[in-house]
Amino acid sequence: MKHDSIIAREGLPFIAVAAFADLVAFAVGLNGLGILFFLITLFIIWFFRNPERRAPENPRQVVSPADGKVIRIEEISDIDFAGNDVRKISIFMNIFNVHVNRIPYPGQIVSMVYRKGRFLSANLDKASEVNERNTVMIRTDAGEIIKLVQIAGLIARRIVWWIREGVQVGKGERFGLIRFGSRVEIFLPLQVKILVQVGEKVRAGETPIGEMP
């Protein structure tokens, strides 16, 4: 099933509820409340926008999986990489960013693991450990592993994914979203050249964040 509509379909129930409340408020003469619900409806439509993106042509480049700001780049050992060191890039999405997430590099989905958790503000370091999350492992054609972690935030209460284990995915392909403020982490092999810095703003599916050797 394609997920290329201009508004992500997961937002339609929220839009419908806000729009209905807007109509009811105006119908009973509560114009001030009606204007408020109208603005809320517009915001929800804008939040669930799903714009087209074009990945860079350089086949070695790894693109950002999320819109937002790079808040941390670090070298860590990771159990999913047999305890080997990898580079982790953390991207914070505020409520004004596009929240549709995209595949950073082509390959095959080898595993997906969802875990319930808390809902701390996604820009806190502790959120990376305790919040609700979905972990996606991608094996590239060269046999390298890239890990993505969708982390719910303070307001978010639902991580959505549109892929499954075993499928082939392309660079820039939409793979899910997180509702209302969140964080995405990408784990890359050490030999990948990092092309972004902390504080830099990135766009999912477009901004190169790394380059394969």
- What one-letter code names the amino acid at 33? L
- Of the residues 77, 111, 121, 182, only one is catalytic, namely 182
* 7-40 burial: b if 16+ Cβ within 10 Å, else e: ebebbeebbeebbebbeebeeeeeeeebeebbeb
- Is 121 among the catalytic positions? no
CA distance 153 to 122: 4
Non-local (6+) Cβ contacts of 4 within 8 A are 50, 52, 174
User: Of 62, 63, 70, 14, which is closest to residue 42 (Cα–Cα)?
Assistant: 14
Q: How far apart are the first and last CA of the chain?
A: 33
CA neighbours within 13 Å on the CB side: how many for 178? 35
Cα 71 vs. chain centroid, distance in angstroms?
Answer: 14
Strands 100-102 and 159-161, how do they pair? unpaired
Would you please indicate which residues are annotated as catalytic (active-site) residues? 182
